[in-house]
Amino acid sequence: MSTSATTIFSPATAARFDRLVTLYPVKRSALVPMLLYAQDEVGYISDAVVAEIAQRIGITELDVRNVLSYYSMLRTKPAGKYNVQVCTNISCMLRDGYGILDHCKKRLGIGHKEVTSDGLFSLEEVECIGACCWAPAVQINYDFYDELTPEKMDQILDDYKAGRAKETV
């Protein structure tokens, strides 16, 4: 399927997907990246995303759902505009990652995989994000924040809330 008026994606993303399926020996290799990039734009993997990606790759919607359910970053419900992912795995745990998680829970008034009522933040306790030597670490969407304290965490959340945070990724 080429970029057409029927796509649910922005022209840039549609063009990117047109190219993505040509990069590999088989089209299906584009599936996992396409799902993640679609989620970045739409906010989650909606039924319409599943349908269009299935059509673009030439597989069934069931094939797409089968893959989608495997990967922990892919979600079928919207998250907050800023998805706060707190690592509590061993290296972070030893440097008070749970303290950061508890602090975020209190501060945002939500629990694991919940969204604030204004839709601005969601919170997730995640497994190791590969920032072990700079623990405790958090990812907000794709941005890393490390060597955190509750005070630093407050400052970061304040910046996001006030629209001052620059998303770099």
Binding site for other proteins (CB under 8 A): 23-26, 28-33, 35-36, 57, 66-67, 70-74, 88-91, 93-95, 98-99, 101-102, 112, 125, 127-135, 139, 142-144, 146-147, 168-169
Nearer to other proteins, 118 or 152 (CB): 152
Q: 5 or 28, CB closer to other proteins? A: 28
Rounded to whole angstroms, the Cα distance separating 125 from 120 reads: 17
Spatial distance between the Cα atoms of 92 and 99, rounded to a whole number of angstroms: 10
Least distance in angstroms from the C-beta of 12 to other proteins:
15
CA distance 75 to 70: 10
Q: Find, among 62, 105, 54, the residue nearest to 84 by Cα.
A: 105
- Nearer to other proteins by Cβ, of 68 and 118: the residue is 68
Q: Provide the minimum distance between the beta carbon of 5 and other proteins in the complex, in angstroms, as a whole number.
A: 27
Do 53 and 34 touch, CB atoms closer than 8 A? yes
CB of 136 to other proteins, least distance (A): 11
Contact indicator for 100, 150 with CB cutoff of 8 Å: yes
Comparison of 38 and 118: residue with beta carbon closer to other proteins: 38
